[in-house]
């Protein structure tokens, strides 16, 4: 009989708390101790902030550590729990999935107590931390082979009231993009588990995964804006500057908005993220590396839309997504 997941300190004690979330040992590896920060200032919103869900998205842990530095001065009420690195095995390997069991942590929620290490992490978070929060911010990045604007995202939610509250919370980040993202691969995601419990869950997608000072400043400002919107922190929320602009827009995207490569090759972007395009506008060009005579293939906008994501920096196989488009949320 393995031990149950637990915290090494009491979150209900007023004031600052630091300790660990203990993920029990299993057949594949020993016990994990994930550092947890907690600041309990009594009545008010109860927020859980997590980073490092995917091991090659390191902005999340960095922004989480930055928040921990100033929260003790800034937080006026409520309770904030911060778990900067959900998946230390993934982070150590700079790998989206956990190397030990090959699993994607964000597809195994709510997890399994008797499962492999990734499932045990999800189980510990679901059972020990999630009940302590009404709102969850899970800090992701879009990954190193994409250009993607700083965004606060959610999937469509069946409950219209929770959907409205979630979009309002996401817009509270005041990032360049608030996105309602419909896609077909949502089973086992952290947000689905949290939403089944009626919680507001915002997944931030912090750009392309290459960590830089300018983008980190935008992300930190976004999370601070969200803390102000929740009423946990006092101050004035402002749109951070992204590519000379200080504004935000709320868009939606669907599986049919994925533009795929008709052949293998190198994708040459001809548009930047958040560009408006008309039907037929050139978004990028796919170049074959096998033959100069094969010619290149234009990837064009199927309809008037806004460019959401652009593949960059990696050779693509046939039928892979090279761009995503979106339109204003109805
Ligand atoms: Zn991610």
Neighbours of 198 (CB within 10 A): 11
pLDDT band at 80 (very low <50, low <70, confident <90, very high): very high
Which residues are registered as beta bridge partners of 81?
38, 48
**Residue found under tokens 């402002």:** 238
Best CA proximity match to 57, nearest among 178, 210, 188, 247: 210
Q: How far is the CA of 318 from the centre of ligand 1 (A)?
A: 23
Predicted local confidence at residue 209, as pLDDT: 65
Q: What is the mean pLDDT of residues 5-27?
A: 96
pLDDT, position 163: 97
55 CA distance to ligand 1 middle (Å): 8
- Residues 194-229 have pLDDT tens digits of 999 999 999 999 876 678 899 999 999 999 999 999
Kindly give the distance from the C-alpha atom of residue 291 to the centroid of ligand 1, in angstroms, as a whole number: 35
Residue 2 in this model has a pLDDT that exceeds 60: no
What's residue 204's pLDDT?
Answer: 97
Q: pLDDT tens for residues 146-178?
A: 899 999 999 999 999 999 999 999 999 999 999
Tell me how far the alpha carbon of residue 218 lies from the centroid of ligand 1, in angstroms.
18
Question: How many angstroms does the Cα of residue 142 sit away from the middle of ligand 1?
Answer: 6
**41 C-alpha vs ligand 1 centroid, how far in Å?**
30
Quote the ligand 1 centre to 42 CA distance (angstroms). 32
pLDDT tens, residue by residue, 98-134: 999 999 999 999 999 999 999 999 999 999 999 999 9
Cα–ligand 1 centroid distance for 280 (angstroms): 31
d(CA 252, CA 274): 13
CA of 75 to the centre of ligand 1 (A): 27
The mean predicted confidence, pLDDT, of the chain is 95
User: Three-state SS across 57-90?
Assistant: CCHHHHHHHHHHHHHHHHECCEEEEEECCCCHHH
Task: Grade residue 32 by pLDDT with cuts at 50, 70 and 90.
Answer: very high
Show Cβ contacts of residue 136 under 8 Å, excluding neighbours closer than 6 positions: 47, 48, 49, 50, 130, 190, 191, 194, 199, 200, 201, 202
What does the pLDDT look like over 251-282, one tens digit per residue?
Answer: 999 999 999 999 999 999 999 999 999 999 99
Please tell me the pTM assigned to this model: 0.96
Residue 1 has pLDDT above 60, yes or no: no
Distance 50 CA to ligand 1 centre (A): 11
DSSP assignment string, 109-136: TT--TTS-HHHHHHHHIIIIIGGG-SEE
Distance 327 CA to ligand 1 centre (A): 22
DSSP-derived secondary structure letter, 233? B
Q: Which residue in 111, 144, 125, 114 sits closest to 51, CA to CA?
A: 125
């Amino acid at each position: 009989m393995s031990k149950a997941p637990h915290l090494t300190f009491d979150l209900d004690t007023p004031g600052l708390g630091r300790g660990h979330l203990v993920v029990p040992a299993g057949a594949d590896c020993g016990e994990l101790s994930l550092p947890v920060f907690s600041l309990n200032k009594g009545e008010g919103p109860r927020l859980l902030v997590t980073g490092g869900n995917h091991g090659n998205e390191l902005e999340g842990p960095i922004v989480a550590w930055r928040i921990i530095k100033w929260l003790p001065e800034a937080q006026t009420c409520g309770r904030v729990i911060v778990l900067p690195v959900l998946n230390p095995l993934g982070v150590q390997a700079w790998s989206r999935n956990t190397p030990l069991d090959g699993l994607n942590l964000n597809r195994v929620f709510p997890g399994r107590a008797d499962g492999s290490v990734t499932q045990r992490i999800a189980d510990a978070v679901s059972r020990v931390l999630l009940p302590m929060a009404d709102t969850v911010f899970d800090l992701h990045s879009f990954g190193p082979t994409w250009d993607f604007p700083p965004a606060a995202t959610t999937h469509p939610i069946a409950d219209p009231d929770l959907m409205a509250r979630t979009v309002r919370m996401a817009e509270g980040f005041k990032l360049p993009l608030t996105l309602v993202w419909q896609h077909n691969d949502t089973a086992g995601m952290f947000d689905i588990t949290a939403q089944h419990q009626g919680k507001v869950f915002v997944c931030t997608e912090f750009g392309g995964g290459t960590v830089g000072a300018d983008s980190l400043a935008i992300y930190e400002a976004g999370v601070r804006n969200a803390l102000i919107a929740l009423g946990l922190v006092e101050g004035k929320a402002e749109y951070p500057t992204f590519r000379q602009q200080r504004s935000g827009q709320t868009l939606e995207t669907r599986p049919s908005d994925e533009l795929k490569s008709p052949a293998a090759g190198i994708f040459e972007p001809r548009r930047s993220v958040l560009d408006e395009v008309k039907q037929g506008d050139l978004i990028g060009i796919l170049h074959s590396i096998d033959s100069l005579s094969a010619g290149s293939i234009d990837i064009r906008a199927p309809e008037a839309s806004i460019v959401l994501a652009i593949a960059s920096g990696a050779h693509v196989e046939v039928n892979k997504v090279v761009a995503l488009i979106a339109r204003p949320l109805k």
